[in-house]
Amino acid sequence: MTRVAIIYHSGYGHTRVQAEAVRDGARSVPGVQVDLVAVDDSPYPWEVLDRADAIIFGSPTYMAGVSAPFKAFLDATASRWAEQGWKDKLAAGFTNSAGINGDKLAALQHLALFAMQHGMVWVGLGLLPGNHSSTGTPEDLNRLASFVGAMAQSPADLGPEAGPSASDRRTAEHLGKRVARIARGWHPDAGDADRSATASTVAA
């Protein structure tokens, strides 16, 4: 059984809607079990994350980065980092913010660099930009024209019923489906050997 875990934070519910869309996309792939967990479901769900073949990370963009609760979770993974326990798992990311741009890219870059520090293999969105030509519309898939992960936008003064938009939710679904499909065929044989090499180098 292929396992995909989605872990996210949402202060006001908008990023939760995006996370649920990522989940719906992932679980549309046969043979894939999907776990959706929020970082405020304490304690952190280590067992779910450790057994996953792929982990999809999601945070609102707050102050041009990930939110403080999500950063606390990222920092709490340091012992996994030290053992490279998540090495060769797949990783991907999504973010939602109020601005059309809003510096969402900074949050996604943070997640991608975090995954690389763990030795994970980053899966980008895999879509051409939407709403990008004279015939494009805001209803297009990937209307916010991201490559590194899924972006969504929600009005700052309204609740999650007002955003993310249908297009952003479909983009999030696409990311979940893409990661699940890739995870189903992902068999990183070299991972254990690399981990032993790292451990013996440290011991020497």
Ligand X SMILES: Cc1cc2nc3c(=O)[nH]c(=O)nc-3n(C[C@H](O)[C@H](O)[C@H](O)COP(=O)(O)O)c2cc1C
Per CB under 6 A, residues contacting ligand X are 10-15, 60-64, 96-99, 102-103, 154, 156
Q: Report which residue's Cβ sits closest to ligand X.
A: 102
Give least dist CB 168 to ligand X, A. 11
Give the H or E element holding residue 44. none
Give least dist CB 43 to ligand X, A. 21
- The secondary structure of 125-186, three-state, reads CCCCCCCCCCCCCCCCCCCCCCCCCEEEECCCCCCHHHCCCHHHHHHHHHHHHHHHHHHHCC
Give least dist CB 150 to ligand X, A. 14
Angle at alpha carbon of residue 79, lines to 78 and 82, rounded to 5°: 85
Which residue matches tokens 């995006």?
18
| Residue closer to ligand X (CB basis): 13 or 188 | 13
Calculate the CA dihedral of residues 156, 12, 9, 140 and round it to 10 degrees. -50
| Residue closer to ligand X (CB basis): 60 or 119 | 60
Give least dist CB 7 to ligand X, A. 14
| Residue closer to ligand X (CB basis): 60 or 130 | 60
Q: How many CB atoms lie within 10 A of CB 144?
A: 23
| Residue closer to ligand X (CB basis): 2 or 61 | 61
DSSP-derived secondary structure letter, 23: H
| Residue closer to ligand X (CB basis): 60 or 149 | 60
Give least dist CB 152 to ligand X, A. 8
